[in-house]
Chains A and B, each alone.
Chain A
Amino acid sequence: MAFLEVKQVRFSYDAQTADAREVLHGVDLEIEEGEFVALLGHNGCGKSTMAKLFNGMLLPTAGKVLVGGLDTSLEENQLPVRKQVGLVLQNPDNQLVAGIVEEDVAFGPENLGVPPVEIRRRVDEALKAVEMYEYREHAPHKLSGGQKQRVAIAGIIAMETKCIVLDEPTAMLDPKGRGEVMGTIQKLNREKGITIVLITHYMDEAVQAGRVVVMDEGDILTSGTPRQVFQQVEFLKRHSLDVPQAAELVYRLGASGVKLPEIPLNEEECVAMLRRYLAGRAGALS
């Protein structure tokens, strides 16, 4: 059984009213424990709705969402589900509540009724995991965007959720802040085995995931490893998605008759491939 199971889920905003608008049209998706999945799609494709369905903030209009086997639509499952799936949103300023970093991180476990000694341990550990321990006594509003997002992530880690869903966590950050947040996400997935669902518009972030799921018009279009998905340059463009500049360049050279073996995912791969090609070899990546 997968950790997150989305079964034939439909969702309408303002269901039961004349303005009802269905944004998900029978989605099926399974995410295993420990996976790192990137969810892509243009604005309005339904991916943020999916994020809110994963932790029971929204409930499906039809179909089921199961978290660790628990049906999110049953009231008695609400708290157990939120203990397992934490949500990090785009704007860090809307997620930090306390005047001191460590108090902010403690907010979640306090609400769960965790004993104080245990809270202390969890807060310290969570702040160390996101490399913000030295800032534990700082005021959140004085931190940079990347630092604030890492504090928000620490707040989720302190609740010891098995899964973190991040909805465009780097949209408001500069390149350095984006790098910090992505580094943290990778580390949590690899070292702590936390399941990650990352919603993003940045293809260079999506390529870091183990699996990429592409959505459009409230349905899942395709799913696969980043390498599989990003080979389909034309397909992605047709659905208003982008590919990294490295992929775009090689794709266009290939379409004009230059025999390059595959689409590179980043600049290093692109350069290595072109180097091998120019040296007279076929240029395959591995």
Chain B
Amino acid sequence: MPVLETKDLTYQYGIGTPFQKTAVEKVSISIRKGEFLGVIGHTGSGKSTLIQMLNGLIRPTGGQVLLDGKDIWAEPKKIRDVRFRVGMVFQYPEYQLFEETVWKDIMFGPKNMGLSENEAKERAMEAAHFTGLKEELLEKSPFELSGGEKRRAAIAGVIAMDPDVLILDEPTAGLDPRGRDVLLAQITQYHKARGNTVLLVSHSMEDIGRTADRLLVMSGGHAVMLEETKAVFSKGEELEKLGLRVPQITKIMQELYKMGCPVDPATLTVDDAFGQLLPFFKRKEELR
């Protein structure tokens, strides 16, 4: 059974005003338990509205969101539980830190769920470990941390609630290349260790290419593709029409494939491309 499912999910802003606009229209998708799903789409494609509906932050104006088969709005009073189970890390989450110490900030979520001080502490410890926060930082004020550390503390706060589904909206925006690589590795590691479902929203096709199992492509409020990452990235021309593109390495491999090189045109990482090209080029080198 899928962990999350949407049926004709629709959201209209400003109903009954001159500014009425359909942000998401009749989206029916099914998210598999334990998958790493990438979500792409240009600004205004409806992806932010969609993910906010997935964790019950906004209520659909039409259709349903099913979590483990149950409509999350069947009992509106229990919507808080949905938000604990579908954890959301917003863009620039470090702006939401507010507690006196990093510890307290990370424990805020678990305590709100009704866990005891000790349980919350345990969860916070584990979450800090997943995001690579050193123990000595936990006693500090969040405002004393560097930008990258703050980002980790904010993500740890959501992970500490141990959600079944973790949604991250542009978690690497504004980080430098190393910070980005480390954070992506930690998220991948977390996904493997916990086996829960992760949704990663990103504008970086390179980041998506090396992490996601499947990709959801949003455009004009519709879900236009939901397929294996390789399958989506082999449709370069369609993506370009949607204001998106394929990772640079994929583009290169597609061109080489067209020239008759024995390579996979849907290669997603430099490692993979290197592994395929090296034997081929070595043979060429020997023939010289």
Q: Are B285 and A259 in contact (CB under 8 A)?
A: yes
What is the bound-complex CA distance between A75 and B90, given in angstroms?
42
What is the bound-complex CA distance between A240 and B182, given in angstroms?
11
Near B by CB (< 8 A), chain A positions 77-97 give 90
Q: Are B273 and A201 in contact (CB under 8 A)?
A: no
A245 interface neighbour in B178, B203, B248, B285, Cβ under 8 Å: B248
Chain B residues with CB under 8 Å of A278's CB are 259, 261, 284
For B241-276 the 0/1 string (1 means CB < 8 A from A) is 001110111011001100101000000001001100
Chain A residues with CB under 8 Å of B15's CB are none
Near A by CB (< 8 A), chain B positions 105-136 give none
Near A by CB (< 8 A), chain B positions 151-174 give 173-174
Q: Are A201 and B176 in contact (CB under 8 A)?
A: yes
Q: Are B278 and A253 in contact (CB under 8 A)?
A: yes
CB of B232 within 8 Å of the partner chain: no
Q: Are B203 and A253 in contact (CB under 8 A)?
A: no
Q: How large is the interface on A (under 10, 10 to 19, 20 to 34, 35 or more residues)?
A: 35 or more
Q: Are A252 and B174 in contact (CB under 8 A)?
A: no
Question: Known contacts A145-B43, A175-B203: does B175 contact A43 (CB below 8 Å)?
Answer: yes
Chain A residues with CB under 8 Å of B16's CB are none
Q: Are B203 and A271 in contact (CB under 8 A)?
A: no
What is the bound-complex CA distance between A121 and B107, given in angstroms?
56
Chain A residues with CB under 8 Å of B256's CB are 271, 274
B284 interface neighbour in A175, A275, A277, Cβ under 8 Å: A277
Q: Are A174 and B203 in contact (CB under 8 A)?
A: yes
What is the bound-complex CA distance between A39 and B83, given in angstroms?
41
CB of B179 within 8 Å of the partner chain: yes
Chain B residues with CB under 8 Å of A100's CB are none
Chain A residues with CB under 8 Å of B175's CB are 43, 201
B247 interface neighbour in A173, A245, A271, Cβ under 8 Å: A245
Q: Are B285 and A175 in contact (CB under 8 A)?
A: no
Q: Are B43 and A144 in contact (CB under 8 A)?
A: yes
Chain B residues with CB under 8 Å of A241's CB are 176-177
Q: Are B273 and A249 in contact (CB under 8 A)?
A: yes
Listed residue (A144, A145, A249) with the most chain B CB atoms within 10 angstroms of its CB:
A249
CB of A267 within 8 Å of the partner chain: yes
Chain B residues with CB under 8 Å of A42's CB are 176-179
CB of B44 within 8 Å of the partner chain: yes
A175 interface neighbour in B91, B148, B205, B288, Cβ under 8 Å: B205
CB of A168 within 8 Å of the partner chain: yes
B173 interface neighbour in A171, A242, A274, A277, Cβ under 8 Å: A171
Chain B residues with CB under 8 Å of A277's CB are 281, 284
Q: Are B243 and A176 in contact (CB under 8 A)?
A: yes
Q: Are B270 and A245 in contact (CB under 8 A)?
A: yes
List 8 additional contacts besides A175-B243, A175-B245; criterion CB under 8 Å: A172-B91, A172-B173, A175-B42, A241-B176, A245-B206, A249-B273, A271-B256, A278-B284
B contact set with A: CB distance below 8 Å: 42-44, 91, 146-148, 173-179, 203, 205-206, 243-245, 247-249, 251-252, 255-256, 259, 261, 270, 273-274, 277-278, 281-282, 284-285, 288
